[in-house]
């Protein structure tokens, strides 16, 4: 089943390769969507994938895909699935 989520990651997640590492994981798992920095220091992710891949993705970003980052919290909510996503982008 295809699912989509908006994910907010807080901690030391900007300027430490978190977005780049997130993209690598997303590409390996076949996740579609995007990741970007927010002015409040958080990283936002909109991701879409089959439910098993999404579970793996959430688990991997929760422990920080970058060795220099520190994840303090990960909050997510379901969003509508989009037919227009074809890849995962870093913004």
The catalytic residue among 10, 12, 37, 89 is 37
CA-to-CA distance for 12 and 88, rounded, in angstroms? 22
Which 3 state secondary structure label does DSSP give 29?
helix
Looking at 19, 70, 75, 89, which residue is catalytic? 19
* Active-site residue flag, 19: yes
Chain mean position to CA 21: 10
Pairing of strands 88-90, 32-37: parallel
Residue labelled with tokens 């089943």: 1
Q: Tell me if residue 10 is catalytic.
A: no
Provide the annotated active-site residues: 19, 37
């Amino acid at each position: 089943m295809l699912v989509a989520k908006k994910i907010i990651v807080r901690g030391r997640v900007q300027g430490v390769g978190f977005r780049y590492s997130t993209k690598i994981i997303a590409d390996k798992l076949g996740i579609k969507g995007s990741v970007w920095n927010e002015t409040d220091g958080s990283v936002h992710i909109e991701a879409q994938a089959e439910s098993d891949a999404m579970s793996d993705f959430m688990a991997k970003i929760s422990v920080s895909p970058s060795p220099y980052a520190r994840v303090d919290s990960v909050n997510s909510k379901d969003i509508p699935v989009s037919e227009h996503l074809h890849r995962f982008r870093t913004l």
